[in-house]
Structure 1
């Protein structure tokens, strides 16, 4: 393809001060379809800042002009790690040579310091050195009128030629293959860096990026499932080897009988060309249409949740619990075989564990047995199939059939819930958390005013833009203070996830004397008879879903935009960050413009 067709390219030097000004105005946009996560360690950041302080050249930053939610933005094609290193140094996130940037140097940082949005760390660099640093000019190249496909192609060419990215990152970069979105979404859910949409402000990226003990933000690499369980190293996760493993597992859920595993077969899954492999993009697309992407994702997350819960019961990481003696075989490969075997027991044979404790004991020292696990290179279909059958045979005694469909319906993938909840860190306009349906001091009294407020918020979320889709969780307290109040009045202890407190709603149902099904039917009727527009109320009621997380009963609503703005009690509302504001006068005209005719 001709990447430059229909585009204009400008190259100029931009001072770091000007770039920082653009940054705090939220002009920089990250497209997570192709852009890698923040992975630089503090030492890499410090080397970059040292180069600028010494007036040494820094590689060019490549941007693309784009429109996002009605405003002009700059999409970062190349230079994400460098820009983050510069801005986080300016904001005192880390020192260079033991000293911090002087916040009095710039008017913007001084304002943030005076308003206590930033805290001056010490010791500080000499102000003249800081001024010279912010006056440093960085070469910036900007594409104008660039199409999405041309941006994807530029990103791939930049990173494939210099091998800056791993093979899996290059496969994923801007890929339109059906498997790519599944790999990206599941991998992010497991790491904990999910975002509600593909677009994230650069300011928000540190909240959902991999970090280490030297950087006080983001997701600590040692806490990521793959690292914590000893399945992959920290460096392997930073190089997206976790996404490669997720891809291999997904292929074995999608393709039956099993396909071989290896680089050639992974490449085929992303290739737009017709290839003879069973893992070709065409074959995968056909299988996903037959099974449904949502169903494949559900099966995957259900299996991983079972493994996590079982290891929690064992109180030991996977690598030491399943291998009690020195074992030279690759941990990712035998995790792969165990995962696929468990998935088939759960979803093909419709079995459930007799108990987590019994399954944990069945897994203790499991890979010390005489089971042949191949090392590197391609993993043939026949050998893989034989191993999975042997694993199932060894584990089947820890399982039993179940007919409790009600209990199964209430099961929610814990990882999926945790992942979605963390999206609130970057998407507060499309997220809302409520502690429950009833009054905190009296769980037997339904709080009608509070519930109507939830429905008003739902309408405001649907008015954010034409493709908006929000999430409202009920059974999650906003903060420790609310969780403490619930504990005081009901005796319910909360479970903490980051800053969020899970309290559940079972105590309300007990006080109301209702079953889950009775509460579900009552809430559906209540939504449909609310002050919402009838068509939107019916659509919203259809998204109501009860689920359990660690024995807490929670509820989820997913308001979604329609063809036009919606009202609550005859009024229009929109979300501005976490606030819900009424729209009046000329603002209604602007609101309508968010919903162009389709």
Structure 2
């Protein structure tokens, strides 16, 4: 009876999503359903999957959390967007013993370890664990870290800092003893997890229309929208899987906190194109989708809900934005090329607005109409993209372009309001925008400069991925000794080669990133400035120092150093087959006039060696593998 009551209560608290989840099984063989409280009853069916529902104390859930058992699949899972006030309301409910909706998990294997993938409840779990770790107060007071043995240990080891004033110890103990209903989906395939997530949210009560389109979609356009949108917001991750412990680092917050991304600093909000709430509801991804469709489809398609839906659908529809048409064009152009064009265009707008020193909405649209600003931006973006990539033009100067955009939309240009935006009307407006701006552009033949120009947003986004993926990231301040920029550091370079092999041994399909010219140590950045006069550019906790000062001291051009490095990689202690591939990924690029280099170690079909030895990454550390560990390493590569 207790178990049955728990199921009923849990499904009621889950709301419409539970109904959708239950309806998913109608007309199918009954699943094996295990329903239990500790000491409760168990009900089973006869399919391979299991769904267990039980009460878990917040203390037990936190213990699982610090052991990194919770995993987030960003292919379908929404970003962390709850405001501090929303988190505080949830904690207040637990403190007052009010019911909190069920958490839905799926058992999965990741990198050889059993993990719990969060299907529903990401925001709630983060709110609970963040409160326990003193990230924010409730009623002006913080959780007492002496309450739990886990938090006391982290406090004593200086991993957590106790903030004041503190909640009463008894209240904190009662809070951690609160039981949260948790449903665990066992023996679930990736496709079934995707389907459960979509059904839970298909009522639209929990997710926006764009989030439902994106949820679990494997379409090429969905992957591109995710990647580009996250790069712009700054919450990108190197892989689809992120530990729940790392998610707060890339969460979107409504206050300037010590962690996460302050929503007012996101490009769309900072420039008055979209509101904070719109970004939280993924309207930024909807706008990115519209822009991408206008980059890849010719003639321009209409914009609107039914056209966006069609782009994600596998069904044959008459819309020019049909999934089949979009997929064909993406394959033809190449996803990387489409992303490059998008980022290059957005970089141009960002750099131009930096010259203007004023947000887009105040600079280009002085007659304020917030609802129309996204379409103003849409038309300008597509016009600039076509000037850059279809007409092969570049601005005469950012200052001239900035002046041309001042009060641009106060001119006689008609921008339609809400509803569908017809392709013909859109095309006419974009042609008018190009006609007004073309005189501020000119042809370019400087192919070398274009080749070296990395997209600023893409670099910043990739760099921030280091916050959640230590094992597949490495930063080096340069190729030379810090105290002697004219002397190549052979030991450091060979260490980079060893790290590259370790990254390639992470798992099948793994791809790492190594940036040279970026320091994660303030002391190195300070020393470089003292010795060379090069002032670093700070991005989060990283310091961009560049390597141009080293080349100047060695009296080498970029091309000369590039060729020298290629041969140096090939003659390193790496096994030759991997060294040749790694050398092919070396690329110099410029970011804000800093010369940097990138290597992308990529896993092969079997483990690789450095100096005849196997190495792996454990977080940011590199360790040699010996004995039976080599057998486990080989098992990471099924085809080897």
Q: TM-score range by the shorter chain?
A: over 0.9
Are the aligned partners of 1:329 and 1:373 in contact in 2 as well (CA < 8 Å)?
no
**In the alignment, is residue 378 of structure 1 matched against residue 433 of structure 2?**
no
> 2: distance between equivalents of 1:522 and 1:474?
15
Answer yes or no: is 1:58 the counterpart of 2:79.
no
Q: Cα 1:115–1:298, aligned 2, differ >3 Å: closer, same or farther?
A: same
Deviates more, 1:210-219 or 1:308-317: 210-219
The offset of 1:546, in angstroms, is: 0.5
Query: What secondary structure is seen at the aligned counterpart in 2 of 1:89?
Result: helix
Cα distance in 2 for partners of 1:71, 1:487 equals: 44
Corresponding residue pairs, total: 598
CA-CA distance at 1:265 after TM superposition: 0.2
Match runs of 1:568-579 below 5 Å: 568-579=610-621
* Cross-structure match for 2:44: none
* Cα deviation digits, residues 412-471 of structure 1 (max 9, x gap): 100000000000000011000001111222222111111111111101111111121100
Q: CA deviation at 1:215?
A: 4.1
Is the CA contact (8 Å cut-off) linking 1:94 and 1:215 kept in structure 2?
no
CA contact (8 A) 1:62 1:77 kept: yes
1:175-190 superposed matches below 5 A:
175-190=217-232
Residue aligning to 2:461: 419
| Contact 1:17–1:135 (CA under 8 A) maintained in structure 2 | yes
Aligned to 1:161, what secondary structure does the other structure show?
Answer: coil
1:27-106 equivalence runs, <5 A: 27-106=69-148
Q: CA RMSD in A?
A: 1.2
Residue of structure 2 equivalent to 1:350: 392
Q: Which runs of 4+ in 1 moved over 6 A?
A: none
Kept after mapping to 2: 8 A contact 1:14/1:137 = yes
Moved more, 417-426 or 213-222: 213-222
Give yes or no for the alignment of 1:510 onto 2:552.
yes
Aligned with residue 161 of structure 1, among 187, 203, 208:
203
For the 8 Å contact 1:178–1:281, the answer to whether it is kept is no
Q: Paired residue for 2:516?
A: 474
Who is 2:254 aligned against? 212
Find out whether 1:14 has 2:65 as its counterpart.
Answer: no
- Stretch moving more, 18-27 or 436-445: 436-445
1:24-77, CA deviations, whole angstroms, 9 ceiling, x for partnerless residues? 000000000111111111111111111111111111100000000000000000
| Deviation for aligned residue 1:325 | 3.3
Normalising by structure 2, we get a TM-score of 0.92
Task: Name the CA distance, whole Å, in 2 between partners of 1:17 and 1:221.
Answer: 31
So what's the TM-score if we normalise by structure 1? 0.98
1:524 is aligned to: 566
The residue aligned with 2:285 is 243
Contact 1:42 1:214 in 2 (8 A): no
Could you tell me how far 1:324 is from its partner in structure 2?
Answer: 2.5
Secondary structure class of the residue paired with 1:95: coil
Please name the residue that 1:222 is paired with.
264
**Do the aligned partners of 2:273 and 2:370 also contact (CA within 8 Å) in 1?**
no
1:402 aligns with 2:468: no
Shift of 1:584: 1.4
Could you list the runs of 5+ residues in structure 1 that have no partner in the other structure?
none
For residues 183-582 of structure 1, the aligned pairs below 5 Å read 183-213=225-255, 215-327=257-369, 330-582=372-624
Whole-angstrom distance in 2 between the partners of 1:595 and 1:179: 29
SS of alignment partner, residue 136 of structure 2: coil
- Structure 2's unaligned 5+ residue stretches are 1-23, 32-46
2: distance between equivalents of 1:269 and 1:520?
A: 42
Q: Secondary structure at the match of 1:140?
A: strand
Aligned counterparts of 2:324 and 2:369: Cα–Cα separation in 1: 39
Q: Distance in 2 between matches of 1:397 and 1:389?
A: 13
Aligned in 2, Cα 1:333/1:162: closer, same or farther, shift over 3 Å? closer
For the residues of structure 2 that align with 1:473 and 1:68, how far apart are their CA atoms?
27
